[in-house]
Amino acid sequence: MFGNGPRFPVIESKCGWSAAPVVSDDLILLAGGASGQAIGEAPILQAIDEDGERFRLSRKASGRDIEPGEISTTPSGDIILPVYEHDTSLKILRVGRDGVVRMADELPDDDPYDVVAYDTSSKLRVAVRAVDDDGYLCSWLYRQGRRQGITYRRWGEPLYLWTSEEWLLHASGGTVVGATSPDYARPGPAQSWVGRDVATGAALWLRDTGGYVLAGTAGDALIAVDLAAFDRTDRTDRADRTERDEHDHSKAARDTGVHAIDLTTGEPTWSSLVPGRAHSAAVGPDGVSVCAESTEDGTWRVHHLGLDGAYEGVTPLGGHACVVARTPEFTLALVEGQWLMALDNPGGGRRPGPAEPWTIPIPLGGLAPSYAARVADMRLDTVPITLAGSRCHLRGTESLQIIEV
């Protein structure tokens, strides 16, 4: 079922929330960065093809953190990379597939990104999505959701066309979806998703989503996992909780909601409940796999849902696990950070269960650290593993391992 593919040396990931490999046609793209102590040349972007490294893009380090954002591409195939240097600058680079920087937009401070401001740790996270070959959406998240927004810009132009106050979740088909800042006065915390017209920024729909975290897309639907019920007590100092508080929580928070939200209208097309607290999820062409920790015995299980929200079965795993990807045949789960297991998806009368455990050929030093941008202080677990077609790409601290699935 599995076979070892090639392994390539890679640049070090200094910014864990953009560590996952991005596969774009014949290129595997990796973001790097620099720590606050680094000097000299800091690699910020690496492109690998079947023959090895095609190019590497570097930037001079001067003792400040350099954090590349998530890599994306334009319709014509150019590579977009936001690069934030702490308290210094925010640049949006447009790079050709030959490694040549075609354009570099230097975004102004506090208009409205607040680039230059004293902070002892990372304060700004940036996501960029191309609208077309002429324009792009730039979204920033300041201090884990306390301030955020989206701007629509044209390459090389100093002003933005419109701005909003959400963190960018998804953009396709002329619709932009963003999450509002949380309302910490309400449990959850409370937030909303807003759908906007990409050309004008006009609001098309607004939905109160509580603690929704985007897990992926299925056609014209956004698949969301609602962490609000469990987040209600996680935000409280444990020392201040009474025995009654703990008892009430254990009775109330037993299931995690999974919802499909129509991209055009913002209305739910289906909703389903998964037993336990969800920690990761993967959306595939035939359904959704959700890994949750049981509130009954603390064991970890993968629950399978169809694309209509119907509950299809469960695979018990026991130890800590993270769902990585889902194909039409099986779900890949990383168990205890060491084992990649193929879990048969329900269907054909078969009972879902783990295939023979297979050890991931983890590169020396283990997998690179990976984090998700913290929208409303809630997130799902992530790992630097990307499934593209029949190839699974695992990013380690020093090398990239490709596995044929």
Can you spell out the DSSP letters for 111-156?
A: TTS--S---SS--EEEEEEESSSSEEEEEEEETTTTEEEEEEEETT
CB 387 within 8 A of CB 330: no
- Residue 344: its pLDDT value, please? 86
- Which pairing describes strands 39-49 and 27-31: parallel, antiparallel, or unpaired? antiparallel
Q: Which residues touch 263 (CB under 8 Å, ≥6 apart)?
A: 170, 172, 173, 175, 177, 195, 217, 220, 221, 222
Question: Alpha-carbon distance 92 to 69, whole Å?
Answer: 9
Residue 225: CB atoms within 10 A of its CB come to 24
Alpha-carbon distances, residue 313 vs 304, 346, 348, 349, 356 (angstroms): 5, 6, 13, 11, 19
Structure tokens at 64: 């400040």
The residue behind tokens 């076979």 is: 3
Chain centroid to Cα 291, Å, comes to 16
Can you spell out the DSSP letters for 329-352?
A: SEEEEEETTTEEEEEEPSBTTBPP
The residue behind tokens 């102590």 is: 37
Question: Alpha-carbon distance 94 to 81, whole Å?
Answer: 7
Task: List the chain pLDDT tens, one digit each, 405 residues.
Answer: 456 788 999 999 988 888 999 999 999 999 999 988 778 899 999 999 999 999 999 999 888 889 999 999 999 999 999 999 988 899 999 999 999 999 999 998 888 888 876 655 557 889 999 999 999 999 998 865 568 899 999 999 999 999 999 999 999 989 999 999 887 776 656 789 999 999 999 999 999 998 899 999 999 999 999 988 776 544 444 444 444 444 444 445 789 999 999 999 999 999 999 999 999 999 999 999 999 999 888 899 999 999 999 999 999 988 889 999 999 888 999 888 877 888 888 864 455 555 455 667 677 778 898 887 767 666 888 899 999 988 899 999 999 999 887
Residue type, 389: G
The residue behind tokens 């953190």 is: 65
CA dihedral 212, 216, 221, 223 (to 10 degrees): -40
Q: Which residues touch 331 (CB under 8 Å, ≥6 apart)?
A: 282, 284, 289, 302, 304, 315, 323, 325, 342, 343, 345
Phi, psi of 285 (to 5 degrees): -70, -15
- Residue 364: its pLDDT value, please? 74
Question: Alpha-carbon distance 164 to 175, whole Å?
Answer: 14
pTM of structure = 0.89
